[in-house]
């Protein structure tokens, strides 16, 4: 879901390497992908989805 925006790591060393790269290596494609993902995940949208879930489970308004 988050590729190509996300970086993944399996070890502590991998995590350090990925964090360093994320902060120091310009990557316009990754940057645009991250912005596109962030635009779809607003606080309002998250709240609306939570309310819809609660309602579907029978929670009162």
pLDDT digits (tens, 9 = 90+) for 5-49: 888 999 999 999 999 999 999 999 999 999 998 888 889 988 999
For residue 48, give the H/E element and its range.
helix 43-56
Kindly state whether residue 42 falls inside one of the protein's structural domains: yes
Asked if the model's pLDDT at residue 59 lies above 80, the reply is no
- How far is Cα 44 from Cα 38, in angstroms, rounded to an integer? 12
User: CB–CB of 21/7 below 8 Å?
Assistant: yes
Tokens for 18?
């990925």
The domain total for the chain is: 1
pLDDT band at 56 (very low <50, low <70, confident <90, very high): very high
Asked, as a colleague might, if the bond just before 4 is cis with ω within 30 of 0, I would say yes
Kindly state whether residue 48 falls inside one of the protein's structural domains: yes
Kindly state whether residue 1 falls inside one of the protein's structural domains: no
Q: Give the domain range for residue 41.
A: 12-56
Kindly state whether residue 4 falls inside one of the protein's structural domains: no
């Amino acid at each position: 879901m988050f590729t190509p925006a996300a970086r993944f790591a399996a070890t502590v060393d991998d995590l350090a390497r990925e964090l360093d790269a994320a902060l120091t290596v310009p990557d316009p494609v990754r940057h645009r992908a991250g912005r596109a993902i962030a635009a779809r995940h607003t606080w309002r949208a998250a709240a609306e989805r939570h309310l819809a879930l609660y309602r579907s489970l029978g929670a009162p308004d």
